[in-house]
Amino acid sequence: MFLSVVLLWLGVCFIVLQLKSRRPKNFPPGPPILPLLGNTLQLSLENPLKDFERLRKSYGDVYSIFIGPKPAVIINGVKAIKEAMVTKASDFAGRPQDLFVNDVTKSKGVILADYGSSWREHRRFALMTLRNFGLGKNSMEDRIHEEIKYTVSTLEKSIGKTMSPRVMFHNAASNIICQVLFARRYEYDNALIKVIVQCFTENSKIANGPWAMLYDSFPLIRYLPLPFMKAFKNAETVENLVNEFIREHKKTRVPGEPRDFVDCYLDELEKRGDDGSSFSEDRICLYALDLHFAGTDTTSNTLLTGFLYLMNYPHVQERCQREIDRVLEGKDRVSFEDRHNMPYVQAVIHEIQRVANTVPLSVFHCTTKDTELMGYSIPKGTMIIENLTSVLSEEGQWKFPHEFNPENFLDDKGEFVKPEAFMPFSAGPRVCLGEGLARMELFLIMVTLLRKFKFIWPEDAGEPDFTPVYGVTLTPKPYRMKVQLRTPQ
């Protein structure tokens, strides 16, 4: 009797799963679906980017896969991504709320928050606050230049030697966003910042690795003591550190005279009182962590990619330096406004962002209502994955889609142009919050360092490997650089 009940239950489950894993009418096509497993076995859990490109060749720019029993639509190419993220922006502006990353962050940040009034309130506040920090005496530009001094000092100690730039760039990006969030910076060998960086780095790898995909595909394993539990411990560690900063802020702040982002949030809380808004004390920590992660990993990995290419394309580095010397002659330091007079440097930085492809699958979206895309019907709540790799190397959109070449961003007259396929920050209402800060950081850091130093690929380093390591963000493989002082020409 017991065996019969078990068999019946398994049979019912199998039928339900079979029905769940069928494509609805007029849904985007895709590979055959296995019961329970979906298309998990057809994707590399370590790095699915090549699989996505392979499936695109078979099924077109809009196709579907099943991650376990859950459907997901992969969108590729400028036309499809613009239709979804810009033309039908509100239809595609949701965030899936039942994934590994949501559970780790408790869905209380701004990046993964679902589309609605709470998200709108917090995004508006973040944009306004970041913009305000760009103005006044202690402007964003001043903060970045202040941090660059420490980067320059680190490089000066390595003149004539080889050094690994990974920690230096990561800590520089981290310190710039820490100045904005908490009005503090840390020495590059500080123990606390090492803990935060380690936790973020590990969680970035876990979040786009095989264990996170298994967690998302099979909810029953979520309670088992498997490797993904490390991410929850890391999240708890950094939350405790940030909560300590917030407690200090409460004791030392002067209402109406904010020093940083946390003070601004506390002022906003005080101003709103019990007005029923989504602002609350328990959101400050995860909100700040969202901004710290987004502002650190992407910028540092882009800088690492940039100097890897500049060392191995010395003619590009030299041409940048000639333009920098000419434009900055007689000036103490570069200003963000100087970019308008540096078309080639602008082209190089944008080309570095294109090949770095730092967030290859953007952040996953989901549909907020039943909608259509490129003629296909997509039900409400369907997960949407933007394959930004497909846009940043799309045939017909770039002069040299598969190689590093700044000419991708220069017209026939040598003027800087930005093709519509350049969307490393995504597009639409969910476009990266920190785009303005990232662009300013990349320009000021790269120009300052190229003006003062020459970067050389070490003779004993062998052939460079440009293949990145896959994760939430793509990271260049570790490398070393040789640093020389240069005299402006």
**Residue 56 to residue 54: CA distance in whole angstroms:** 5
Q: Domain spans of the chain?
A: 28-485
Contact criterion met (CB below 8 Å) for 372 and 366: no
| CATH of range 28-485; options 3.90.1150.10, 1.10.630.10, 3.40.50.1970, 3.40.50.1820 | 1.10.630.10
Percent above pLDDT 70 for the chain: 92
> pLDDT digits over 418-471, tens only?
999 998 888 877 877 778 888 999 999 999 999 999 999 999 888 999 988 887
> pLDDT digits over 321-374, tens only?
999 999 999 999 999 999 999 999 999 999 999 999 988 888 888 999 999 999
Contact criterion met (CB below 8 Å) for 181 and 261: yes
**Residue 120 to residue 252: CA distance in whole angstroms:** 30
**How many Cβ atoms from other residues are within 10 Å of residue 137's Cβ?**
5
Exposure class string for 162-197: b at 16+ Cβ within 10 A, else e: bbebbbbbbbbbbbbbbbbbbbebbebeeeebeebb
What single letter denotes the amino acid at residue 429? P
> pLDDT digits over 224-253, tens only?
787 778 888 988 888 888 888 888 888 898
Contact criterion met (CB below 8 Å) for 168 and 154: yes
Handedness of CA 469, 473, 478, 484 (dihedral sign): positive
CA geometry: angle at 134 spanning 443 and 116, to 5°? 100
Contact criterion met (CB below 8 Å) for 331 and 381: no
Contact criterion met (CB below 8 Å) for 167 and 188: yes
Confidence of residue 260 (pLDDT cuts 50, 70, 90): confident
> pLDDT digits over 297-330, tens only?
889 999 999 999 999 999 999 999 999 999 999 9
Please, where are the H alpha helices in 253-386? 261-272, 281-312, 314-327, 343-356
